[in-house]
Chain A
Amino acid sequence: MDVVTLIWLYILGLVRWLLKEAPLQVINFVRSLPTLIPELIRWLWDFIWFNFKPLAQIIVIPGLAFILLFAMIVVWFERKFLARAMLRIGPYYCGKRSGWLQVIADFLKLFFKELVIPDDVEKALFLASPILLPTIPALAITLIPFDSNWVLFDAGGLSLPIFLAIAGLAPVVPIFAGWAANNKYTIIGSFRTAYLYVSGEIPLVICAAATALLAGSLDLVDIVEAQRPLWFAVPQFIGFLVFFVGLILEAERTPFDVPTAETELVIGWRTEFSGILFGFTMMAEYVVFLGWTLLFITLYLGGYLGPSLFGVPLYDHIFWMLLKLAVIVVIVVLIRTVYPRLRLDQTLRLGWNYLMPLALLNLFITIILKWGLMI
């Protein structure tokens, strides 16, 4: 028997199956449908009902919808606020004279633009970096407690170090992006990002360690609970200020936005991206800002705790977290309105010469306070 004969036999067998037995199978399947579909639906419903909370956390808050909405609202607010400070109007026609649809329109425009990928870039890194950029800080956001029982990822008592570890990954991606784009301007931009991140991260980590010391635990929920009598902003005032300045530094907002929005080097490491890749890099800026602000609120401003009026604690709810977030966002946008941009060496000098000794001082004060309280 040779191969051609075998193939013919196989085909004949297939035809016989198709004509004789396949119709029977189809009829059996169709007969069983009325019982199959409700079973499927019931299985789906059980799945959602059982896992409702994590699903809501992933999709709504503090997950996808929250981050996207935050980015959109902050972009709109910043544009309008800056415009009013400049005696202009800001977005006006899109969305009934307040321009709230403008952000969505801009996002759609970026989505439909052509992706221009130059010939001599590293394609894999070039396409992967903008996608990694917002996702890494979003991973860190999953660790923040929004209410006493509303944490997306239960890290077993170690959420603060894991947050800082994930945040330490964040500066690596712009370096990849700048290098992959194969352009003089982007390389310089990504080097500057690296300098900035390193000089900003260390004071932040030391301040976070001081709060963990005061609370006596490395878990973010415990740190929030330990602020019930008094928010940590008061005993650790120096750390509060250092962390605030460091937050603006890490999120690369004016007055420290040396790597991006450069008037000297086009736009730093974002230069070669176009279309939706650029949209991701823009969004990443706001996601990083959101991540660090949430950590700031959790460590220093009491997280989801409501304020205590004359010793009587108010009901704590996610709403307080969002309110504090709004206040911090307004202050940061106001700072952007008022100050010019510092040069790179001035920013680095600020980070190393001023922020780090102050953070260490804060740590010592905390040690002394804790020791004093224990004794």
Chain B
Amino acid sequence: MSLLKKLVRPFFIVAPYVARSSQTVKYPDERLVFSERFRGRHRLDLDKCIHCGLCARICPCASIVLVPVEGREGKYPQIDYGTCSLCGLCVDACPRGALTMTDFVEFSAYKRSDLVYSPERLAEVPDIKEVLPMLKRRIRPVLTDKEMKYEVVERL
């Protein structure tokens, strides 16, 4: 291609992008819908846990400690999200499937001690609307031939 054509060609390639939809997720008005394997916050099923302690033994970050729960027998896992790396090895290790992972990632707290989630807190996962009251839409990326767009899955 001659020099002049090479100089002008980038204009024609870049200019159509101005008309495309932007790839920004306008959080917290919108939030992505994650896949079902997504590794977010844990959910503990207090009835299934058999207090074996395999999750605490396999955790590479030493975030899980077994603590007693009032009103129940035996010790249950307590997870410190200040050090948890969300790797999911504890979920793989649990022989009864008491630990699973949700798609909840809003961990912010004002004190570091608030990041240590007791077994009762692990057992109940709040609804996303309680943590993000300004949330309006749940979106999901969709890949067409030319671009990647976000389509609305659910309006709140």
Measuring CB to CB, which residues of chain A are less than 8 angstroms from any residue of chain B?
81, 83-89, 92, 334, 337-339
Contacts and interface: CB of A to CB of B under 8 A. Distances in A.
Interface residues of B, number: 12
A87 B20 CA distance: 7
A337 B11 CA distance: 9
A256 B92 CA distance: 56
B108 interface: no
A6 B22 CA distance: 85
A87 B22 contact: yes
Interface of B: 10-11, 14-15, 17-20, 22-24, 26
6 contacts: A88-B24, A89-B22, A89-B26, A92-B26, A334-B11, A334-B15
Nearest to B18: A84
A300 B18 CA distance: 29
Nearest to A335: B11
Residue in B15, B17, B18, B20 whose Cβ sees the most chain A Cβ within 10 Å = B18
Contact of A84 (B10, B11, B17, B26): B17
Contacts of A338: 10-11, 14
Contacts, number: 30
A-B pairs, 9 with minimum CB distance: A84-B18, A338-B10, A87-B23, A89-B22, A89-B24, A338-B14, A85-B17, A87-B22, A85-B18
A134 B133 CA distance: 47
Nearest to A82: B18
Contact of A81 (B11, B18, B24): B18
Contacts of B11: 334, 338
B18 A88 contact: no
Contacts of A89: 22, 24, 26
Contacts of A87: 17, 20, 22-23
A113 to B, nearest CB: 28
Given A81-B18, A337-B14, A88 B23 contact: yes
Contacts of B20: 87
Nearest to B148: A87
Given A84-B17, A87-B20, 6 more contacts: A84-B19, A88-B22, A89-B24, A92-B26, A334-B15, A337-B14
A83 B19 CA distance: 11
Contacts of B22: 83-84, 87-89
Contacts of A92: 26
Nearest to B19: A84
Residue in A83, A87, A337, A339 whose Cβ sees the most chain B Cβ within 10 Å = A87
A87 B150 CA distance: 13
Nearest to A338: B10
Nearest to A86: B17
A334 B17 CA distance: 12
Contacts of B26: 89, 92
Contacts of B10: 338-339
Contacts of B24: 88-89
Contacts of B14: 85, 334, 337-338
A83 B14 CA distance: 12
A174 B126 CA distance: 58
A84 B22 CA distance: 7
B63 to A, nearest CB: 36
A85 B20 CA distance: 9
Nearest to A334: B11
A86 B23 CA distance: 9
Nearest to B13: A338
A99 to B, nearest CB: 13
Contacts of A334: 11, 14-15
A163 to B, nearest CB: 30
A337 B10 CA distance: 9
B32 to A, nearest CB: 16
A52 B73 CA distance: 90
Contacts of B17: 84-87
B5 to A, nearest CB: 14
A146 B17 CA distance: 35
Nearest to A331: B11
Contacts of A84: 17-19, 22
A254 to B, nearest CB: 13
A334 B8 CA distance: 12
Nearest to A92: B26
A86 B20 CA distance: 10
A284 B23 CA distance: 33
A327 to B, nearest CB: 15
